[in-house]
Amino acid sequence: MTAPTTTPTSQPADDWWLRAACRGSVNPDMFFPTQGRPEPERVELCQRCPVRADCLREGLDTGSKGIWGGTTERQRRKLKETIPPQR
Ligand code: SF4
């Protein structure tokens, strides 16, 4: 989630982001690293977030940049390769 509150282009359509652990509490650069891996603090925050699954789904569905559900863009691309298409 991306962090939904720090998403540069839009906010998710649903309201799950209101319960996000990162909501209003972090440096946006942690969620949208320009290169490399996310910071360890970021990963820890996502691991204890109550809406991690929703956030990951948003990242997968929208293809948005940044960290969503504790995953990087690269990790999500790999995940999408393993998820069978929905009918
Ligand atoms: S999983 Fe991470 S990026 Fe997504 S809402 Fe939770 S804390 Fe924010």
Q: What is the mean pLDDT of each run of 10 residues along the chain (87 residues)?
A: 46 80 76 66 86 93 89 90 74
Q: What is the pLDDT of residue 8?
A: 39
| b (16+ CB within 10 A) / e for 29-67 | ebbbbeeeebbeebeebbeebebbebbbbbbbeeebbbb
Q: What is the pLDDT of residue 2?
A: 46
Distance 84 CA to ligand 1 centre (A): 24
pTM value is 0.74
1 Cβ inside 6 Å of ligand 1:
yes
Q: What is the pLDDT of residue 5?
A: 44
Closest CA to 44 of 26, 61, 66: 26
Residue nearest to atom 3 of ligand 1 (CA): 1
> Ligand 1, residues 46, 54, 71: which to mutate, most atoms within 8 A of Cβ?
46
Rounded-to-integer distance, Cα 47 and Cα 32, Å: 17
Q: What is the pLDDT of residue 49?
A: 94
